[in-house]
Amino acid sequence: MKKSTYFILLLSLLFSFQSSAHTVKTLRVTASAYNSVAAQTNHHPNLTAWGVRLKPGMKAVAISRDLLHKGLKKGSRITIQGLSGEYVVLDKMHRRWRNKIDIYMGNNIKAARKWGKRTVIITVLD
């Protein structure tokens, strides 16, 4: 084969590897926690803004709406610095919030208060 053929083959391999590579996206956000109680949400505390029914034990988060423009969407899987496991985006917050996530902690108000509010790195898995 000619050198030019090898060169073209090499370039096509390089581009195919780059296009299939998965890029990991990380974001620095403010994270607070919330519970399924009417005092923190509304008269339907287990129902998210997207119509998903939350149950204690679910690893779910609500996101500020500006994060929708940064690649997060309903059903996105994320990890949260300082917490184990994967969380799923199942709720969205009021428009007034920016660069923020709210971690669902079921009915455990004590755990939510202990978490408080902190800055964390989240990793978007898909």
- For residue 49, the domain's CATH number is 2.40.40.10
Torsion of CA 101, 33, 82, 97, to 10 degrees: 20
Any domain includes 2: no
pTM score? 0.78
Any domain includes 9: no
Q: What is the pLDDT of residue 40?
A: 75
pLDDT in tens, 38-80: 777 767 788 899 999 999 999 999 999 999 999 999 999 999 9
Q: Which domain holds residue 91?
A: 38-125
Pairing of the two strands 60-63 and 87-92: parallel
Q: How many residues belong to the chain?
A: 126
Any domain includes 8: no
Structural domain total, the chain? 1
Any domain includes 27: no
- Distance of alpha carbon 61 from alpha carbon 115, whole angstroms: 14
Any domain includes 26: no
Any domain includes 116: yes
The arithmetic mean of pLDDT across residues 102-123, rounded, is 96
Amino acid of residue 64: S
Q: What is the pLDDT of residue 58?
A: 96
Any domain includes 69: yes
- Distance of alpha carbon 48 from alpha carbon 59, whole angstroms: 14
Q: pLDDT band at residue 18, thresholds of 50, 70 and 90? A: very low
Q: What is the pLDDT of residue 14?
A: 55
Any domain includes 66: yes
Residue 78 CA, chain-centre distance (Å), reads 4
Q: Is the pLDDT of residue 108 over 60?
A: yes
Higher pLDDT, 51 or 3: 51
